[in-house]
Structure 1
Amino acid sequence: MICTLTLNPSLDYIVTVNDFIVGATNRTSDDFILPGGKGINVSIVLQNLGYPNQAYGFLAGFTGKALESMLEEAGVNADFLWVKEGDTRINVKLRSKEETEINGRGPKIKEEDIQKLLAKLDGLTQGDTLIISGAIPSSLPQTLYRDIMEHLKGRGVRIVVDATRDLLLNVLEKHPFLIKPNQAEIEEMFNVKLNTIEDIEKYARILQDKGAINVLVSMGKDGALLVDEHHKVHFAKAPKGILKNSVGAGDSMVAGFMSGYFKNQNYDEAFKTGVCTGSASAFSDLLATKEEVEALMKASEDLFTPGH
């Protein structure tokens, strides 16, 4: 079984304003609403790539009901817990000369809600995969992802974590199967500036030394780098295309990487699929489809350096 966990999902209201002016009345040239949250994005892309999965997390209020309905329409097998206080958040993604995001807070999640979630996760067993993604509501401790991994310790569950700062650093001692920071997040975690591929490799190895089994680093237009469990380094230049939507590209990379890994446990294949899936989402208004990923993989053969 493949599961995703999104503790603070959202409705993403994506608007395009051709020339946004602060302090003025602006009118959209385009707008639409999508189900949001990093784990939800992973679930949708996995589904698109032919890997049915179970989506877990928390929902609340009338916005939660709207999100649940949208997930059903997207074919996502959602099994969310409902909390009493607050509403599922709305995130505004403003596209203009620059992209701007305004992210909501989300509902208040209590200890009793966490216990219900842990009881649900008790259904995971040997060989299952749990992908934990994104930020958490401010009411929860920064150790929560580590606590979840500790709860599942010894069960043979493969755990992927895509998070930032302390949420990510705190899980390393629990040996997650995969982490996927981007370049800016590594710079923030270690208070450094990464100027070269060698710099990025150095800090990816530091994260591996701290406990991560595989470290996948996304670098935007500069490509991506993987240090796999055999300590081999894989590098890819970014596939060529027109950027339409960066929201969900990193989540798509995680989904693509895992779908490639599930095929035959080959890291070259997993890395290539991950990079092309992330790029396919970036080049699309929506999240990547299987056809888009396969076309990009065929067109990008020469961009990848096999692990060495």
Structure 2
Amino acid sequence: MIYTITFNPALDYIVRVDDFKLGSVNRTSYEEIYAGGKGINVSIVLNNLGVESKVLGYIAGFTGDEIERKVKEFGCDSDFIKLHNGMSRINVKLKSSEESEINGQGPQVNNESLEELYKKLDFLKEDDILVLAGSIPSTLPKDIYESIMKRLDGRKIKFVVDATGDLLLNVLNYKPFLIKPNHHELAELFNVEIKNEDEIIHYAKKLKEMGARNVLISMAGDGAIFVTETGEVLKSAVPKGKVRNSVGAGDSMVGGFIAGYLKHNKLEEAFKMGVATGSASAFSDGLATKDKVEELLLEII
């Protein structure tokens, strides 16, 4: 079974204003509300590709109820922990001549609720996949990812980590099956400026030396680079298409990689599936669908 954790999910309120003017009343030309959060996105994409997973995380208030409803509406199985105080956040994503975002804070997670999550994770078994994706709320310990992996260490669970900064660096000792920083995040991890593919490969291999089994670097329109656990370097350009929405493309790449790996049990095929799935989301208004992924797979050599 695949499990995804979204510690601070949100309702993403996406609006388009043709000519936004600060300090004035503005009217939307388009609006939509989605259940947001990196782990949730991964699970939705997996479901679209015919792969079952379970969504874990925290929800609160009427917004939390709506997040859970929308996740189930997408066909995903969920086992959220409901907090008694506060409300799940609403993130406003404004699209106009420039894109702006206002992200909410989310509810507080206390020690009792954290222990409840640990008890759910204790049921994971050999060959299960656990996806740890995204930032964490300020009320949680900064080493939460590390604590989870330490608790489950030695049980042959495959960890997939899509995080930034110390949140990622601190888990490398536990040899995650896959990590997926983008090229900007890679540069930030080592506090350097990366200028070309050779440098991307150099620092991706450093992450592998530090413990990661497989390192997938997404580069938006420039494609992706993958360093496998055997040290092989694979490169892929992105398929041709018009970018309609960049939100969730990285999460979709993670979901596609997992789906491809489970289907073929080959890292090269997983990489191709990841690139196709990330592109499918980028070229769509929503997250990748199976038909779109299969169409784009034909373009990836």
Give yes or no for TM over 0.5.
yes
- Aligned-pair CA distance for 1:86: 1.5
Tell me the amino acid that sits aligned with residue 301 of structure 1. I
- Aligned-pair CA distance for 1:192: 1.1
Distance in 2, matches of 1:85 and 1:233, equals: 48
**Bigger Cα displacement from structure 2, 202-211 vs 93-102:** 93-102
How do residues 266-285 of structure 1 correspond to structure 2 at under 5 angstroms? 266-285=266-285
Given the alignment of the two structures, is residue 121 of structure 1 paired with residue 121 of structure 2, yes or no?
yes
CA shift digits 1:161-190 (9 cap, x unpaired): 111111111111111100000111112222
Number of the residue aligned with 1:297? 297
Q: Number of residue pairs matched?
A: 301
Number of the residue aligned with 1:147? 147
Number of the residue aligned with 1:59? 59
Structure 1 residue matching 2:186: 3-state secondary structure: helix
Given the alignment of the two structures, is residue 38 of structure 1 paired with residue 38 of structure 2, yes or no?
yes
Given the alignment of the two structures, is residue 89 of structure 1 paired with residue 89 of structure 2, yes or no?
yes
Number of the residue aligned with 1:306? none
Distance in 2, matches of 1:192 and 1:128, equals: 35
- Aligned-pair CA distance for 1:11: 0.5
Number of the residue aligned with 2:175? 175
Number of the residue aligned with 1:24? 24
Number of the residue aligned with 2:137? 137
Structure 1 residue matching 2:125: 3-state secondary structure: coil
Given the alignment of the two structures, is residue 248 of structure 1 paired with residue 248 of structure 2, yes or no?
yes
Tell me the amino acid that sits aligned with residue 14 of structure 1. I
Kept in 1, the 8 Å contact 2:276–2:300? The answer is: no
Taking structure 2 as the reference length, the TM-score comes to 0.98
- Aligned-pair CA distance for 1:104: 1.1
Structure 2 residue matching 1:92: 3-state secondary structure: strand
**Bigger Cα displacement from structure 2, 96-105 vs 83-92:** 96-105
Tell me the amino acid that sits aligned with residue 143 of structure 2. T
Distance in 1, matches of 2:19 and 2:6, equals: 33
Structure 2 residue matching 1:34: 3-state secondary structure: strand
Number of the residue aligned with 1:104? 104
CA shift digits 1:254-277 (9 cap, x unpaired): 000011111122111111100010
Instruction: Note the residue ranges of structure 2 that are not aligned, 5 or more in a row.
Output: none
Distance in 1, matches of 2:124 and 2:56, equals: 12
- Aligned-pair CA distance for 1:301: 2.9
Number of the residue aligned with 1:305? none
Number of the residue aligned with 2:265? 265
Distance in 1, matches of 2:86 and 2:165, equals: 26
Q: What is the aligned-residue RMSD (CA, Å)?
A: 1.0
CA shift digits 1:59-84 (9 cap, x unpaired): 01110011111112111101000112
- Aligned-pair CA distance for 1:131: 0.8
Distance in 2, matches of 1:186 and 1:43, equals: 24
Number of the residue aligned with 1:192? 192
CA shift digits 1:94-132 (9 cap, x unpaired): 112232222111110011111100100111001111111
Structure 1 residue matching 2:255: 3-state secondary structure: helix
Structure 2 residue matching 1:57: 3-state secondary structure: strand
Instruction: Note the residue ranges of structure 1 that are not aligned, 5 or more in a row.
Output: 303-308
Tell me the amino acid that sits aligned with residue 219 of structure 2. M
Structure 2 residue matching 1:301: 3-state secondary structure: coil
